Amino acid sequence: MSDLLERLRGRGWRLTAQRRVVAEVLDGDHVHYTADEVHAKASERLPEISRATVYNTLGELVSLGEVIEVSTDGRAKRYDPNAHHDHQHLVCSRCGTIRDVHLHGDPLSALPEPERYGFEVSEVTVTYRGICPNCTAAA
């Protein structure tokens, strides 16, 4: 993700220690953390980083299209660094963890014209829900 930092710098981003750490956290594992989880991880490397900065930085990464915001459960949003590959999500209804999944076909084409009601439809998200193997085992 070091090229991410380069790309952002090219767009006029000021490169600070805080932003670097947030980007590194997102790059690290391919898990979908909540903002506060990102903050916790970031604090391990840069203890004085503030919650507001993490929220700001995540918001910027989202509007720059580098990260996708996923809100599956009405609780905390999660951040998905895998923004450049088209994919959908599989969510555990019990523990909330998210996996990226890839579908057969294009879900956009499943919505017939008369069902579009004059909207300019530009995006579709598909979310599968179920119980993950871990939670099944723990039950």
Give contact residues for a second copy (rule: CB under 8 A). 69, 71-74, 76-77, 90, 92-93, 99, 101-105, 107-112, 115-133, 136
Candidate residues 4, 18, 99, 131; the one interacting with DNA per rule CB under 7 A: 18
CB of 27 to DNA, least distance (A): 16
Q: Is residue 72 within the footprint of DNA (CB under 7 A)?
A: no
Q: Which stretch binds DNA (CB under 7 A): 23-31, 41-49, 86-94, 131-139?
A: 41-49
Closest to DNA by CB, 67 vs 109, is 67
Q: Are 59 and 66 in contact (CB under 8 A)?
A: no
Burial zone of 113 (CB within 10 Å; 0-12 exposed, 13-18 middle, 19+ buried): exposed
Distance CA 72, CA 96 (A): 8
Distance CA 67, CA 7 (A): 13
